[in-house]
């Protein structure tokens, strides 16, 4: 055998792919969880396609979830990000949705997991930023018999949850699969976690008209930042499609950007309202949450047969 002076050395390890996002089901197949290699995670309950957790790389939770929230499918989830469709609140004067329960049926129906996808982009420091996208679907065939009896139109919903380093994007595509037109409203009912509601200010709504549901649905105009000092339930129509930011103690903590969603609901139940809700706990939990809810709820989206409507939000957190 002839010895080769410059023969290649053996490889110490077989090269492989860089770490990828991991997507797993819970043991009972009730939820789906995505985790990025850097540690960020999101958990989506198939009941309502409700996001129940969103954490940063250190495991710090960004959403507020009631400790007595129903996660077994028996009731809509109190906290996280529930979906509102096809009606916001109740609409007794709107014939198509008059008989539906509060906030419609999307948040109380079991959705189908349609699949996952990942993407990679170069970040400013030369590293690769990975993201994970989870898709969920709901159609008329997936509704309960009770819901079908109250809203008999054919439809298709595709809900996408995209986890990035530092942000979370949720988008909903609504398609009319019926032979006749129907109306709908859409809202992303986001419960953000805060440290102390008394230190919170909401910026980006200055000059916006809003309906004050705590004060007889009077129409008012916002002046300056929004501060939460009592029960708050307002439907804002911002003058521009700019971002809404949440600051705590003067430091920006969240930025919410909207795509094709003309309204922003700001909600906090405060003391008495929280005390009266059986699934809201701890009862002083209102001190640690604020709902910033992008939606299209001041009027109706009217979809002709075959038409589609899409709305989305991106929430970015600031460390």
Q: Which residues are catalytic?
A: 189, 293
110 is in an annotated binding site: no
107 is in an annotated binding site: yes
Judging by beta carbons within 10 Å of its beta carbon (0-12, 13-18, 19+), is residue 206 exposed, middle or buried? middle
- The Cα 313–Cα 296 span in angstroms is 12
Maximum C-alpha span of the chain: 96
234 is in an annotated binding site: no
Residues 6+ apart with CB under 8 A from 282: 67
Helix (H, G, I), strand (E, B) or coil at 106: helix
Residues 6+ apart with CB under 8 A from 275: 283
Q: What separation in angstroms does the CA of 45 have from each of 64, 147, 162, 174, 258?
A: 15, 20, 15, 20, 23
Residues 6+ apart with CB under 8 A from 246: 192, 194, 200, 201, 202, 203, 252, 253, 254, 255, 256, 290, 292
Judging by beta carbons within 10 Å of its beta carbon (0-12, 13-18, 19+), is residue 165 exposed, middle or buried? middle
Closest CA to 318 of 268, 232, 262, 256: 256
Going by the annotation, the residues of the binding site are: 78, 102, 107
Going by the annotation, the residues of the binding site for substrate are: 78, 102, 107
């Amino acid at each position: 055998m002839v010895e080769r002076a410059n023969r290649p050395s053996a490889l110490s390890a077989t090269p492989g792919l860089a770490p990828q996002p991991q997507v797993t089901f819970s043991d009972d197949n009730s939820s789906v969880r995505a985790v990025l290699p850097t540690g960020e995670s999101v958990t989506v309950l198939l009941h309502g396609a409700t996001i129940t957790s969103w954490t940063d790389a250190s495991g710090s939770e960004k959403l507020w979830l009631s400790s007595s929230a129903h996660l077994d499918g028996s009731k809509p989830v109190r906290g996280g990000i529930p979906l509102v469709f096809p009606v916001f609140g109740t609409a007794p004067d709107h014939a198509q949705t008059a008989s539906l329960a509060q906030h419609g049926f999307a948040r109380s129906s079991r959705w189908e997991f349609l699949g996952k996808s990942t993407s990679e982009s170069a970040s400013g420091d030369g590293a690769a930023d990975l993201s994970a996208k989870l898709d969920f679907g709901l159609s008329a065939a997936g509704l309960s018999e009770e819901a079908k009896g109250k809203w008999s139109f054919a439809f298709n919903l595709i809900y996408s949850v995209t986890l990035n380093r530092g942000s979370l994007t949720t988008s909903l595509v609504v398609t009319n699969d019926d032979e006749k037109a129907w109306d709908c409203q859409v809202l992303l009912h986001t419960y953000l976690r805060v440290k102390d509601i008394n230190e919170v200010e909401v910026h980006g709504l200055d000059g916006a008209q809003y309906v004050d549901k705590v004060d007889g649905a009077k129409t008012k105009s916002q002046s300056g930042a929004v501060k939460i000092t009592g029960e708050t339930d307002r439907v804002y129509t911002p003058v521009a499609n700019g971002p809404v930011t949440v600051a705590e103690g003067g430091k920006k903590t969240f930025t919410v950007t909207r795509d094709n969603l003309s309204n922003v609901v700001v909600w906090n139940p405060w003391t008495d309202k929280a005390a009266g809700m059986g699934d809201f706990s701890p009862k002083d939990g209102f001190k640690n949450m604020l709902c910033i809810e992008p939606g299209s709820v001041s009027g109706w989206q009217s979809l002709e047969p075959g038409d589609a409507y899409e709305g989305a939000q991106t929430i970015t957190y600031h460390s």
